[in-house]
Amino acid sequence: MKHNICPNCKHNDIEEFFVIPNAPVHSLVTIKDYQEAIAIPKKEISLAFCNNCGFIFNSSFDTSLDYYTQGYEDQQGFSPTFVKFITGLSQRFIDKYDIKNKEVIEIGCGKGDFISLISELGNNKGIGIDPAWVPGRSKVNPNVRFIKEFYSEKHGDLQADCIVCRHTLEHIHDTHNFLKIIRKSIKNNDKVVLFFEVPSIVRILEIQAFWDIFYEHSTYMSPGSLARLFRINGFEVLDMYLEYDNQYLFIEAKPVAEMSDKIHPLEESVEELKKLTVEFVNKIKVQLGNWREKLVMFKEQNKKVVIWGGGSKSVGFLTQFNDIGVIEHVVDINPHMNGNYIPGIGKQYVNPDYLSTYKPDVVIVMNSVYMEEIRKMLNEMGVNPEMLGL
């Protein structure tokens, strides 16, 4: 079933511009059995553009599937690089809006790392809401409690001075209704600060980052489309910015009684974003062709090639190239991924120590932000492969 109405603004002036056939519908579920992994369904990703608000979404997204209650593994806190980034970012946000000794709710808290961090740094009381939360996976804090459920209207009575939502909105198909529920829960409390983080579609389009397009992401936000979503649902944009090599887009907002007309300087127009989609379509075949040529060459040279970085990026990458058969292993620093099989692909995750004996010739790093951290780990093992970063 195709979605012909924009989930952001509810208009129907929609155009599809890019299709990925046979993408695994899961990328982060933990699967212990090879046969179960390769049996994961594959469906089409159809990226569509809304000519009214500039929103990009998967118009083929199947809303009936269960994506998040079967063992969802997305914890990033095992990397020193990421811990340094998220700690500094959180402290700046806390200082900026005086989020100290306050009530904080996180929608889509994962394993609880961020709500625990922001509660600890600001001496706040936190509530994390997520059906994939697992007890014991974050630092124990008596001021933090968790609700193992999907966020819904029934959570509207929870008191909050601040609502945070990181890397969750891109998994929500009906973004308009989701923001509407949050705005309704706030009622007349105009002191609430919202803090959302999503991947930036602008970067994906500009560098043809096909590895960041995968089925579990039903929506793809730009500064303009994200700001417009917040405004039409009763929020004023306080600030927007990009972080982590422009991969992550942040928005800070507050509720208002009347629709805001404040435009942030980071916002692009609908026309500007549409131009990027046209350029993406013109360049993506070259990008995919170059990578295929490189991987085929590695295979012909009998080189040992591994991917470093599990989860969604590796699924997005292997969806395009698994047929070549050159990549045997996917490495991830998260110990909870070790031994699991990649949904729809069937490769088994290994921990970094495995490479000390495997000794790969080529390591493809799924996120160049971690390049130096990974290089250091490899050097300490006595392994010095060619390294290619995405």
| Cβ(268)–Cβ(206) below 8 Å | no
Radius of gyration of the chain (CA): 21
DSSP codes, 33-84: -HHHHHTS-EEEEEEEEETTT--EEETT--TTS--SSS-B----TT-HHHHH
Pair 71, 29: CB distance under 8 Å? yes
Instruction: Please say whether the dihedral angle defined by the alpha carbons of residues 190, 184, 1 and 69, taken in this order, is positive or negative.
Output: positive
- pLDDT tens, per residue, the chain with 390 residues: 799 999 999 999 999 999 999 999 988 777 888 999 899 999 999 999 999 999 999 999 999 887 665 665 555 656 788 889 899 999 999 999 999 999 999 999 988 999 999 999 999 999 999 988 887 767 778 999 999 998 988 888 888 999 999 999 999 999 999 999 999 999 888 899 999 999 999 999 999 999 999 999 999 999 999 999 999 999 999 999 999 889 999 999 999 999 999 999 999 999 999 999 999 999 999 999 999 999 999 999 999 999 998 878 999 999 999 999 999 899 998 887 788 898 899 988 999 999 999 999 999 999 999 899 999 999 999 999 999 999
Superfamily of domain 300-389: NAD(P)-binding Rossmann-like Domain (3.40.50.720)
> Alpha-carbon distance 217 to 210, whole Å?
13
What's residue 70's pLDDT?
60
CA-to-CA distance for 223 and 42, rounded, in angstroms? 30
pLDDT in tens, 76-116: 656 788 889 899 999 999 999 999 999 999 999 988 999 99
pLDDT per residue over 187-239, tens digit each?
888 899 999 999 999 999 999 999 999 999 999 999 999 999 999 999 999 99
Cα gap 132→236, rounded to integer Å: 30
Write out the two tokens for 286. Answer: 């070259």
Q: Select from 53, 25, 57 the least CA-distant residue to 39.
A: 25
Instruction: Report the DSSP pairing between strands 193-199 and 248-255.
Output: antiparallel
C-alpha distances out from residue 380 to 131, 349, 374, 383, Å: 38, 21, 10, 7
